[in-house]
Structure 1
Amino acid sequence: MVLRDVHEGECGNHTSGRNLSLKILRLGYYWTTLRQDALDYVKRCDACQRHAPIIHQPSEHLNMFIPSWPFMKWGMDIVGKMPPAPGKTPKTSIGQTPYSLVYDTEAELPIEVMIPTIRYGLLMSDVNNTELSYDKDTVDELQEMEKIWLISYQQRVANTYKKHVQIRTFHVGDMVLRKAFQNTMDVKTGKFAHVWECPYFIDAIVGCEAYRFSSMDGT
């Protein structure tokens, strides 16, 4: 009763577990498990859970993979075709353009054909053929070196990512809250709207950080 009245009573302000235990001590109450009881009570408080801040720390380690073939990516086309020529910008991870790794030569912009630049205007055909032959002979070695560099780069990214991981796992049957989105929030509540909504039951684990759940009424 003391915990409930001090935490969420008429003068309660839903403080953290540590502050709740200190406030009870200042009121003159004490028992041997006061601190732990206060922490456990705040964790079970429904209002505190629904207004808890969004957790931005990743809950699982980063899963990285090497593409099976060039330019293999998963994505969604939202803005349509972009005007810049693809493959012209060197990738930070490998230091080479994707175009050069696939076609053994650098891409040339249409404007460079009509108005020659220093990069191509002073290049003779015999010199160009010699350099092109050398690039074709060494492209396999270059691709292998860039693959090794890419694996090393991904390992460095994964190590940096792991420093911020806070493992959170759920099991079938657990009761959880879901982040409230703009289309599910009550617009009339304003800044007092719940950050988390419902409780839901986890019905199945369907993948990496993916769960199938149902509401309290079974829907």
Structure 2
Amino acid sequence: MGLVRIACPFDQWGIDILGPFPPAVAQKKFIIVAVEYFTKWVEAEKLAKKSEKEVINFVWKNIICRFGIPRVLISDNGTQFQGKAIMAWCKELKIQQDFIAVGNPQVNDQTKVTNCTILQHLKMIMERAKGLWVEELPGVLWAYGTTPRSSTGETPFCLVYGTEAIIPAEIGEETQRITQYDATKNQDERAFDLTVIEEKRDTAYAKILHHKGLMMRSYNRKIRPRCFQFGDLGLKKIEVSKHVGKLDPGWEGPFKVIKIKKPRTYKLQDLEGKDLPRSWNIHNLKKFYA
């Protein structure tokens, strides 16, 4: 497992599509989520379908028009992320696309990884909300953006805008910012916040590196090296989207390894000779013994 290197804020975004959820207004049943790697800021929108057009519109509206053109977009290798239209569009804007294998929560070689913890957290909340998930989404994003992250020690809101947001709790139990508000002093304090935002970001970056280093050492201590050879048979984890019951087996197969794309990442084929779409990381595979 390696470290994720982040040059500056808004430089790299991880993007994914969650769902399907119970259909809501206008048949919205997916959520497209983008996570900015440095600040941990999250952008999300509701979608009725997964397509290249929807992804392009989201990146333009929610990322480029708000934060500028990113240097890198990181995603899985689903067709909505690596179709001809979106790849040509990214190439025109000089946006580098990095793809990770299905089910790979670690950094794999030089490939960066989206923050799976953030995405999984959002998904669990959305699933609990059932049919009300559309109404719950803005509140989830607000709560996430105003909560300090352990990896940076700051809230995403602060690292983006240079100050903390006023949250509902400060209205119910009035804080000093509310009771002692003064327009002139507030302007001076805001100017000061903007002068120290780079210092806050530098400190956050140092904490990110320290946090990633701890994760890497912990992972490397626990991991047991394993690999597949060409022609080996294996089982793969059943994807969450298939809604596996608690008592159902969590694995399906067997499948044959037909290509080693890179260390620990494989192309699979079922026993009838049909290739599985996308590549699969060894994290989601295990040996099959006949």
TM-score bracket for this pair, using the shorter chain length: 0.5 to 0.7
Per-residue deviation, residues 7-31 of structure 1 (Å, max 9, x unmatched):
xxxxxxxxxxxxxxxxxxxxxxxxx
Partner of 1:214: 269
Shift of 1:179: 4.2
Shift of 1:210: 3.0
Structure 1 pair 137–153 and aligned structure 2 pair: CA distance change class (3 A)? same
1:76 has 2:132 as partner: no
> Residues 87 and 97 of structure 1 are in contact (CA less than 8 Å); yes or no, is this contact kept in structure 2?
yes
> Residues 62 and 162 of structure 1 are in contact (CA less than 8 Å); yes or no, is this contact kept in structure 2?
no
The counterpart of 1:123, out of the listed 160, 178, 181, is 181
**Structure 1 alignment gaps of length 5 or more:** 1-60, 184-189
- TM-score of the pair, normalised by structure 1: 0.54
Partner of 2:259: 204
Q: What letter matches 1:146 in structure 2?
A: A
Q: What letter matches 1:136 in structure 2?
A: L
What is the rounded CA distance, in whole Å, between the counterparts of 2:252 and 2:171 in structure 1? 58
Q: Which fold has the larger relative contact order, with Cα–Cα distance below 8 Å and residues 6 or more apart in sequence?
A: 1
Structure 1 pair 88–196 and aligned structure 2 pair: CA distance change class (3 A)? closer
Shift of 1:118: 3.6
What is the rounded CA distance, in whole Å, between the counterparts of 1:109 and 1:125 in structure 2? 19
What is the rounded CA distance, in whole Å, between the counterparts of 2:149 and 2:180 in structure 1? 27
Q: What letter matches 2:233 in structure 1?
A: V
**Structure 2 alignment gaps of length 5 or more:** 20-125, 127-133, 275-290
Query: What is the identity percentage for the equivalent residue pairs of Structure 1 and Structure 2?
Result: 19
Per-residue deviation, residues 64-104 of structure 1 (Å, max 9, x unmatched):
45386448333333435142424210111111111111111
1:66 has 2:6 as partner: yes
Which structure: larger Rg?
1
> Residues 62 and 161 of structure 1 are in contact (CA less than 8 Å); yes or no, is this contact kept in structure 2?
no
The counterpart of 2:147, out of the listed 67, 75, 89, is 89
What is the rounded CA distance, in whole Å, between the counterparts of 2:163 and 2:221 in structure 1? 39
Shift of 1:157: 1.0
The CA RMSD measured in Å over matched residues stands at 3.7
What is the rounded CA distance, in whole Å, between the counterparts of 1:98 and 1:133 in structure 2? 19
Aligned partner of residue 89 in structure 1, secondary structure: coil
> Residues 177 and 196 of structure 1 are in contact (CA less than 8 Å); yes or no, is this contact kept in structure 2?
no
